[in-house]
Amino acid sequence: MLTKIIALLFLFFTLTANAANKSTGDENRYLYGIPVKIEGTLTKESAGFPSLRLNDLISVFPQEGDEIGGDNTPEFGVAVMQLVMSDDAQWNIFEEFKGQNAIVTCGLYHSHTAHHKTPVLCSVMDISPIKLSNAKPIEIQKEKKSRTFDDFFADNPELSSSIYIKQAVKDVASGQALSDAFTSKPENVSVLRARSDNWSENGYDYARLAVRSLQDSCKIGMGSAFGLRENECRILNRYQDRN
């Protein structure tokens, strides 16, 4: 166990000293599971999760020898990554410098649950704000109108053609909205009210996440647990998240 810890620490310091993961031969190409330094804007997304909006698009690949698929699925054109922070110090830095540029050191891994909001996540090791003289926090412009659950199906008519798919997506998305209400509701607001607000403001995103979760269930033969037959799973698997 001690040997493993020492090896991991050595890997961390070696890679961070080099400032970035360039093992694929391109500064915008990265590997899962290897610490990297990436620059972007610290942001609190409308769905309530902390993120890094990258200054440059990146692509992320499995390490050599790893089987492609599942947690090792390549992702291209990544613009936003959910930040996963494990201690109060990281959260405090994020909250203080939210809206500003920073260099974040983290390990990259692929999303695999409905709680993961972006295809690639950043497990934070360090946040170093880029302090500019007379700089003001950057305001992230919100959409004038929240996109709803129904808007998602309007944009994806093939999915709305099946009542079984729509019901399964609604069940999973509703559960996610309720889960978020329990974990991040404002003070003096009931869970049901928080869930309703989440649903109204972020219904589109909850639908996207639900579809990805159902795709994973179909891949492991568990689609029937959500009332999905083989044909519905085929339709779901044709969906590609473009956001």
pLDDT on residue 243: 56
Angstrom distance (rounded) from CA 152 to CA 78: 21
DSSP at 144: S
pLDDT on residue 47: 76
DSSP at 150: H
pLDDT over 70 percentage in the chain? 79
Please provide the DSSP assignment of 20-57 as one string.
S--TTSSTTEEETTSEEEEEEEEEE-TTS-EEEEEEEE
pLDDT on residue 184: 64
pLDDT on residue 88: 85
pLDDT on residue 189: 73
Q: Provide the pLDDT confidence category of residue 22 given band limits of 50, 70 and 90.
A: very low
CATH 2.40.50 location in the chain: 29-129
Q: Provide the pLDDT confidence category of residue 141 given band limits of 50, 70 and 90.
A: very low
Written out in words, the top-level CATH class of the domain with range 29-129 is mainly beta
- Residue tagged 């499995």 (tokens): 62
Task: Please provide the average confidence, as pLDDT, over all residues in the chain.
Answer: 79
Q: Provide the pLDDT confidence category of residue 128 given band limits of 50, 70 and 90.
A: very high
Angstrom distance (rounded) from CA 236 to CA 3: 44
Among 142-151, 154-163, 188-197, 201-210, the range scoring the smallest mean pLDDT is 142-151
13 has a pLDDT exceeding 60 = no
pLDDT on residue 131: 72
What is the reported pTM?
0.47
2 has a pLDDT exceeding 50 = no
Q: Provide the pLDDT confidence category of residue 19 given band limits of 50, 70 and 90.
A: very low
Question: Please, which residues have CB within 8 angstroms of residue 161's CB and are 6 or more apart in sequence?
Answer: 235
Please provide the DSSP assignment of 152-206 as one string.
HHHH-HHHHT-HHHHHHHHHHHHHHHHHHHHHHPPTT--HHHHHHHHHHHHHHHH
132 has a pLDDT exceeding 80 = no
Work out the average pLDDT over 147-174: 89
214 has a pLDDT exceeding 50 = yes
Tens of pLDDT, residue by residue over 186-199, are 667 787 887 787 78
Question: Please, which residues have CB within 8 angstroms of residue 50's CB and are 6 or more apart in sequence?
Answer: 42, 43, 44, 82, 83, 85, 94
Work out the average pLDDT over 110-138: 76
- List the structure tokens of 195: 């869930």
pLDDT on residue 104: 94
For residue 199, give the amino acid letter.
W
Work out the average pLDDT over 145-169: 86
